[in-house]
Structure 1
């Protein structure tokens, strides 16, 4: 049986919709502007689904800014595709490539967010975190540019409870800059409130929800699972921890508009999909892996024709629905591109594929 990649493309008469979904359902965004806020909300439980990814450990690197942003982004990736597949982004790449250094001990979180817009962040296989002091390869693997997930925007959230809750629901998990006290280092569970000890430094974490019953924020740390509640912490609403290091009104950042190479593990073997197959093969982990024949199918409305490109070279033009093309390519990494047009506008989509046979 042939494997078919289904690409949905919608064109309108004036402006094209350039977001094309493939191989998955797409969740629609929602707004709470005209609704009352729920008493509880968490990205760990969206209609019974936990869209967060496992807790990581940034030690010994001072890379909390990139860990906070990647934790937010990984959750949005899963929610956008409507499935849990545990994406793993390279926090180390984001940290160093956005201007962070080990000696300085931080990266400007605004620089990191802008880097996500301009370049994106690749999967962990491109730049694995060595977790050993000073032992850092300062270059990602060749081709990392083809394996990135990006955002379209970021912004600051006001520090009042309603603004934070609304941003959590409308935009997703938030990267929060905090001042922490010495007792925070020894937190083991419950709702955190400062009890003892002086200032111990600054940190960035990922806030994923809130609970009005417990009067707390639900936050994911990057100190491993032995800290806190399996790596998580609940922080009391009345704890004055948010830090405006970047000026008034800063300290709580949202990101939005996730796009790019969202699914780092795909293997297709004669009609069946596998999350992983050949773990030891030195191939692009973010590219769909193809074994056997592949039919590329585009579902488009108000479309006159669809052009199919492979590695920037046009291969076939289909002027009649259903728009399909039988892909035959040599072994190795390729870029598949489709362009749908109605005579006035063009909508396109790109996919990296790795042909094994």
Structure 2
């Protein structure tokens, strides 16, 4: 009832057992956190009724380009009620692979960017860039949400006003550049599409439906135009910090596969099992402190700290610096 979920009678008992098993793991983890064994806690959120290897999670995690290096791009089919947590996340985290990188010479390609005078801590939310909670639902559209939110942040940086833009436009219309709608997409392909399409419409004019439909883009209704874009040097935390400070929020790839990531509640996420070797999801980095990246996710405000995560810095945790990109308006 808490998460407004109903099940077929044949699945009710199975889902309850899964939820109880996950609740046991959550309670065990949180008990260990209280005595200092973990720097973060977990919560029985709306993903807690999924078994640990779940097709639905596999589906929403299809962001194949997120990593420029995703090891396995396979699309996982699933059947209702038989999904593991990993499969469910893969459904949301569908980032597709990109084999090319374009480095932003004006920002991080030059030899002097290490000497740039940037703040030690920065949180764009504290500067007024506060966006509403977003939920990608049963659609592998993280690539669209990440790029759109990063552009919203840059627009806010320039104008001081927040304009909600349309991820649905990207889901519907960027297939011409190699994206797959709700079956996944890539940061690079999304930026290529926006550079050539003529701009982005607002979310009110082109609302999110969590399913791919006919492209309804109207160039005369765009409110922002992309003139160029670039990808940061791989695994370079200083470059990411510089980009956030000078450009605004930055879209980035991440490994969202660990069960602890999916059930994250609060604290600094620092799970040793969250490998940096491969990534499968896209988020936006909205700020940083001396030891933490501040991320916005698309799994509703029931996940994390009202939809945000604090991620440990200085170790490329979960591959957060493997593939990060920004646009120029």
Task: Provide the TM-score with structure 2 as the length reference.
Answer: 0.58
Does the 8 A contact of 2:270 with 2:317 survive in 1? no
Secondary structure of 2:281's counterpart equals strand
Q: Which runs of 5+ in 1 are unaligned?
A: 1-28, 245-249, 259-357
Report the Cα distance in structure 1 between the residues aligned to 2:134 and 2:229, rounded to whole angstroms.
Answer: 23
Partner of 2:227: 152
Partner of 2:271: 194
Report the Cα distance in structure 1 between the residues aligned to 2:180 and 2:115, rounded to whole angstroms.
Answer: 44
Q: 1:195 to 1:144 in 2, by over 3 A?
A: same
Q: 1:102 to 1:117 in 2, by over 3 A?
A: closer
Alignment of 1:68-147 (within 5 A): 68-82=146-160, 84=161, 86-99=162-175, 100-102=179-181, 105-119=183-197, 120-131=199-210, 134=211, 136-140=212-216, 143-147=218-222
Partner of 1:251: 323
Which of residues 112, 120, 123 is equivalent to 1:42? 123
How far does the alpha carbon of each residue in 1:195-234 deviate from its partner, in whole angstroms, 9 at most, with x for none? 668999710000011100xx11011111111100000001
Partner of 1:226: 302
> Is 1:169 the counterpart of 2:169 in the alignment?
no
Report the Cα distance in structure 1 between the residues aligned to 2:274 and 2:191, rounded to whole angstroms.
Answer: 33
Alignment of 1:201-240 (within 5 A): 202-212=280-290, 215-237=291-313, 238-240=315-317
Partner of 1:183: 260
Cα displacement (A) at 1:35: 4.1
Query: How large is the Cα RMSD of the aligned pairs?
Result: 2.8
Report the Cα distance in structure 2 between the residues aligned to 1:95 and 1:185, rounded to whole angstroms.
Answer: 23
Task: Provide the TM-score with structure 1 as the length reference.
Answer: 0.54
Does the 8 A contact of 1:189 with 1:233 survive in 2? yes
Residues 235-244 or 224-233, more deviating: 235-244
Q: Which runs of 5+ in 2 are unaligned?
A: 1-106
Q: Higher strand share goes to which structure?
A: 1
Q: 1:228 to 1:243 in 2, by over 3 A?
A: closer
Report the Cα distance in structure 1 between the residues aligned to 2:202 and 2:303, rounded to whole angstroms.
Answer: 25
Does the 8 A contact of 2:278 with 2:319 survive in 1? no
Q: Higher helix share goes to which structure?
A: 2
Which of residues 231, 234, 241 is equivalent to 2:318? 241
Report the Cα distance in structure 1 between the residues aligned to 2:143 and 2:282, rounded to whole angstroms.
Answer: 5
Cα displacement (A) at 1:122: 0.8
Q: 1:197 to 1:182 in 2, by over 3 A?
A: farther
Cα displacement (A) at 1:80: 1.2
How far does the alpha carbon of each residue in 1:46-75 deviate from its partner, in whole angstroms, 9 at most, with x for none? xxx322422311111110001001111111
Aligned residue pairs total: 211
Cα displacement (A) at 1:239: 4.7
Cα displacement (A) at 1:39: 1.9
Cα displacement (A) at 1:139: 2.7
